[in-house]
Amino acid sequence: MNAAGRFARYLSTNRLKMTRTRRAILEEILAIRGHFTADDLLAHFRRRGRDVAPATLYRTLARLVEAGLVHRIDMAKGQARYEPMFGRHHHDHMICVSCGKIIEFENRTIERIQADVCRRKRFTLVEHTHQLRGHCAQCSQNGTPAARPRGAS
């Protein structure tokens, strides 16, 4: 099933309709690469001359997350970044709490162990996210105060 089909199915289970605006937002978002904030998204729409009310845009974004088409990455202080995941290869994220950099990674061993753990608990895994928080190589090197190990002065 394509992305529009999946979104339409999600909407109908929630007694909502696929409107032209929702469809346009979906298509525009799926074409974006990288990890963006809701504000970035609004700026992106404005730059492209798309006249969408912020409330509509944010609500549609939240629905795309619920529908599993967009991934939400939780940053520090309640901020979030989004990434279209439909048709993309699975990967997980490391988040630098100093500079906000997001590093993508993929580890077959982790994925395999995870599947194993679920199998043993007879748990049917639908999806997962790994969000590792810490300090990127650059921030650790620059000695960002928060990046220094506790107890070191």
Q: Which residues bind Zn ion (CB under 5 A)?
A: 83, 92, 96, 98-99, 101, 104, 136, 139
Q: Which is nearer to Zn ion, 18 or 65 (CB)?
A: 65
Distances (CA, A) of 63 to 43, 58, 68, 82, 152: 19, 9, 9, 12, 45
Check: CB of residue 57 under 8 Å from CB of residue 45: yes
Q: Which is nearer to Zn ion, 8 or 85 (CB)?
A: 85
Torsion of CA 52, 56, 62, 68, to 10 degrees: -60
Q: Which is nearer to Zn ion, 40 or 92 (CB)?
A: 92
Q: Which is nearer to Zn ion, 25 or 95 (CB)?
A: 95
State the nearest-atom distance from the C-beta of 83 to Zn ion, in Å. Answer: 5
Q: Which is nearer to Zn ion, 37 or 98 (CB)?
A: 98
State the nearest-atom distance from the C-beta of 87 to Zn ion, in Å. Answer: 13
State the nearest-atom distance from the C-beta of 85 to Zn ion, in Å. Answer: 8
Check: CB of residue 75 under 8 Å from CB of residue 65: no
Q: What is the DSSP letter of 148?
A: S
State the nearest-atom distance from the C-beta of 15 to Zn ion, in Å. Answer: 31
- Interatomic CA distance for residues 93 and 105, integer angstroms: 6
State the nearest-atom distance from the C-beta of 134 to Zn ion, in Å. Answer: 9
Pick from 93, 128, 134: which is nearest to 112 by CA? 128
Please state whether 36 falls in left (phi above 0), alpha (psi between -120 and 50) or beta.
beta
